[in-house]
Amino acid sequence: MRTVMHQVWHDLLFAHWEVPAAAVARLLPASLQPDLFEGRAWLGVVPFRMTGVRLAGLPAVPGTAAFPELNVRSYVRHRDERGVWFFSLDAGNRLAVAVARRWFGLPYFRARMRCEADGEAVRYASRRDDARGAPAELRARYEPSGPPCVAPPGTLDDFLTNRLVLFAPGRDGRLLRAPVEHAAWPLQPARASVEVNSMAAWLGLPLQGPPRLLFSRRLDVRVGAPQPAV
């Protein structure tokens, strides 16, 4: 893979709910299908913060190297390749939103965001203020509740986190794919107190029952250039 961007992800929460596979399928482009685990589809709401954001071979641009991000995602297949599909990505940096929309074709939105340490826990708040997207808000406190480990292959936690390709809608209507490289996720069990979560309301997908929660403190990530999926 030819790396085009470096990022470091911090204080990340994976919050996942089982959702109807047919409902997910209706929200995807025709070239993708839901990737299922034992017949079940999943939707993730994933808050974190990024640092060290820079293009490969270049220094970070002041004011764009560190900011909170929050994505809503599900898991898909394109032919025999497994990947992730982002329904939305909110970021607390206007320039990063503009660049990601133009270059990667990803549905980024501007948001007012706050991510603060509270001992071992994280207090996170995000409210979208971008007219291109539906209203969406998250206010939560989350923290790890056990030691880190790597999810064994074939488990649900591996299925939900071990995704090394992202798909995105190209500006010309073609499906794009971009590879992602990183070490195995250091995952910890987590607990969370959620005050508000309307991140998936506009999708019409019900988030029912307690979510499956995982935490990761830090991960270094390399992203490849988006190319047409074939």
CATH number, domain with residue 31? 2.40.400.10
| Total domains, the chain | 1
- Contact assessment for residue 73 and residue 86, using Cβ atoms and an 8 Å cutoff: yes
Amino acid letter at 59? P
pLDDT (tens digit per residue) in 13-40: 999 999 999 999 999 999 999 999 999 9
| Percent of all residues in the chain with a pLDDT value above 70, rounded to a whole number | 99
Supply the pTM of this predicted model: 0.95
CB atoms within 10 A of CB 14: 23
Mean pLDDT across the chain, nearest whole number?
94
pLDDT band at residue 54 under the 50/70/90 scheme = confident
CA angle 125, 94, 67 (to 5 degrees): 50
pLDDT (tens digit per residue) in 168-215: 998 777 899 999 999 999 999 999 999 999 999 999 988 989 999 999
What is the distance between the alpha carbons of residues 152 and 190, in angstroms, rounded to a whole number? 18
Please report the pLDDT score of residue 142 as a whole number: 98
What is the distance between the alpha carbons of residues 77 and 155, in angstroms, rounded to a whole number? 18
Q: Which domain holds residue 18?
A: 3-228
